[in-house]
């Protein structure tokens, strides 16, 4: 754990992600979720960390937890098209087409060149 803390202080996102992958392999999903939650307080504007956290929620969380995470992600990384599209797709897959359209409209407002 000391190595993980040292990696975080050094700004090494890849090392943090490797630790999370090991947690997932061992079935420690809540531990992985907690590490992502902390990493997101340190790397608020890192799209890659938001994406990995979203992938964890998609695989092991609920639709609600994924939606909440994606909503938070686009507030910190509003130019990340993939995060907006992920949110819209999840709403569409859940059968909520109006919500998917609303997310796409918000994305267009945040990224006019879409």
**Which pLDDT tens digit goes with each residue over 51-85?**
999 999 999 999 999 999 999 999 999 999 999 99
pTM for this prediction: 0.82
DSSP H helical segments within the chain, as ranges? Answer: 2-9, 13-25, 29-42, 47-60, 63-76, 81-93, 97-110
What is d(CA 107, CA 60) in angstroms, rounded to the nearest whole number? 26
The reported pLDDT for the residue numbered 4 is 64
Confidence of residue 1 (pLDDT cuts 50, 70, 90): low
Q: Apex CA 65: angle with CA 13 and CA 42, to 5°?
A: 25
14-55 pLDDT per residue, tens = 777 788 888 888 988 998 899 889 889 988 999 999 999 999
Retrieve residue 71's tokens: 């909503």
Place of tokens 């919500």: 99
């Amino acid at each position: 754990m000391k190595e993980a803390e040292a990696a975080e202080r050094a700004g090494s996102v890849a090392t943090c992600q490797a630790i999370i992958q090991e947690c997932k392999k061992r079935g420690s999903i809540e531990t992985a979720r907690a590490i992502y939650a902390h990493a997101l307080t340190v790397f608020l504007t890192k799209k890659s960390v938001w994406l990995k956290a979203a992938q964890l929620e998609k695989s092991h969380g609920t639709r609600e937890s994924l939606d909440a995470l994606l909503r938070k992600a686009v507030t910190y990384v509003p130019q990340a098209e993939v995060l907006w599209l992920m949110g819209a797709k999840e709403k569409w897959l859940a059968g909520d087409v109006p919500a998917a359209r609303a997310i796409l409209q918000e994305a267009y407002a945040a990224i006019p060149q879409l």
